[in-house]
Amino acid sequence: MRMNPGFGPEEIRSYLKVAGWSPVSGSDLAELWRLPGSSEEVVLVPMKPGAPDFAKRTNILLNDLCRIESRDAITVHDAIATVYHDVTDLRASHPSLSDGSIPLEAGYELFISAKRLRVASAAASIRRQGHFRNFPARARDQAREVRLGQTRRGSYIVPIISQARSPEDVYAPQQEHIDIEVEETLFDRRVTATMSRALGVLEEMASARRQPTLSEIADSVGEGVSYELCQALTKVVNTESVGALDITFNWSRVAAPPPGSSAQVEFNRDAIDIVDRISRHLRTQLYTREHVIYGVITDLSRRPEEETGRVGIETLIKRRRRTVWIDLADEPYHLAVRCHDTGTPVRVRGVLSSPPGGTASMEVRQFGPDTSLGSDE
């Protein structure tokens, strides 16, 4: 079967690298890659996407990989095409869905909920809030940037495809400035990490066989749970012909899964009853609004006699580069020094003050490495 590749040499090379292959020779036209082992497999990677025979050579490569990996062509093709992406599968299940189709109303709610989940998670990646009412514009924009994959048969599955990047290719020790384009790309991964963490916390509360305490609900806001996120779940699970919704996170093979993230969560009717109660509580309660910033440490200042250190973090605020100043106690300050020395991006949650033309500062609630990119320091 001849397939339109839909990807280029960089995707192929990255896929082969994480699968254990290594280059042995090459030119501007093609490279030979070898897979160590008893069979000593060698494949040819075409390097000129504009060449007339690029599709033909790529299909030969796909056939080789199908044989070596004992997988079908579509599976291998999709794995290469999404090597830089995270794929989140939303699966609606019910005994009546066994023929692979879904009632129109249930399908509509599933697709709409996919967007609602992304917008709510994007909003929580910018600031933590129990009930948003009005989402940040950046959150709505992010939902327009993610892609929807082909639906799959069986239980009804809707794949959401979002960008991911390897942090090793992005940051350097003692980096002086952030790259705005790179930061915009990494936001996709941060949103997916927030969604995974928030849904994991919700599932944990819903499966505890007891009502969540007010303290647990308040803490869940800090993990990204909001009224809008809960509503996105309840609307689809409460649809007739949908008995449960499970969400699977398939993390990019070139960016490590965020530590502590959930690989799969499931919400049935019983769980949704509890989620609905959490939702109603979040809607009526006032919580302190906290911002979340991501960036690199560019300034460190602390005298020997001082108990706290001053840290400057370059980040994006409303898509513009800004330095936010924070004060850290002894232990987190030393963590900041290590992040600066190793080029590890950081994430800070707290109350942000960023007057136009003035100095931006944050009253810190939480500081640490940006684990959404795979760092687990």
CA distance 45 to 31: 5
297 within 8 A of 323, measured Cβ to Cβ: no
Tell me what pLDDT residue 168 has. 52
Stretch 23-31: mean pLDDT, rounded? 92
User: How many C-beta atoms lie closer than 10 Å to residue 106's C-beta?
Assistant: 20
275: helix, strand or coil: helix
Q: Which domains does the chain have, with CATH numbers?
A: 9-82 (3.30.920), 85-284 (no CATH), 290-373 (2.40.50.110)
Asked whether residue 154 carries a pLDDT value surpassing 60, the answer given is yes
pLDDT tens digits along 66-95: 999 999 998 899 899 999 999 999 999 887
Condensed to tens digits (0 to 9), the pLDDT of residues 236-278 reads 999 888 889 999 999 998 888 898 888 999 999 999 999 999 9
Confidence of residue 3 (pLDDT cuts 50, 70, 90): low
pLDDT confidence of 375, banded at 50, 70, 90? low
pTM over 0.85? The answer is: yes
Residues 353-370: pLDDT tens digits? 998 889 999 999 999 999
The encoded tokens of residue 316 equal 């994006």
According to DSSP, residue 358 is labeled S
Answer yes or no: are the C-beta atoms of 12 and 45 closer than 8 Å.
yes
Closest C-alpha among 162, 161, 227 to residue 198: 227
Residues ≥6 apart with Cβ < 8 Å to 198: 121, 124, 220, 223, 224, 225, 226, 229
Report the alpha-carbon angle 345-247-204, nearest 5: 80
Distance (Å, whole) CA 44 – CA 30: 7
The single-letter DSSP state of residue 285 is -
How many CB atoms are located within 10 Å of the residue 294 CB?
21
Say which range, 18-32, 46-60, 173-187, 227-241, has the weakest mean pLDDT: 173-187
High-pLDDT (> 90) share of the chain, %: 67
Q: What is the pairing mode between strands 85-93 and 22-26?
A: unpaired
Displacement of CA 301 from its chain's centroid (Å): 33
Q: Which of 86, 317, 84, 375 is nearest to 183 (CA)?
A: 317
Torsion of CA 177, 181, 184, 188, to 10 degrees: -120
At residue 218, the pLDDT reads 92
* pLDDT per residue as tens digits for the range 159-183: 999 988 755 566 788 888 888 888 8
Distance (Å, rounded) from C-alpha 356 to C-alpha 55?
51
Beta carbons of 324 and 342 less than 8 angstroms apart: no
> What pLDDT is attached to residue 377?
46
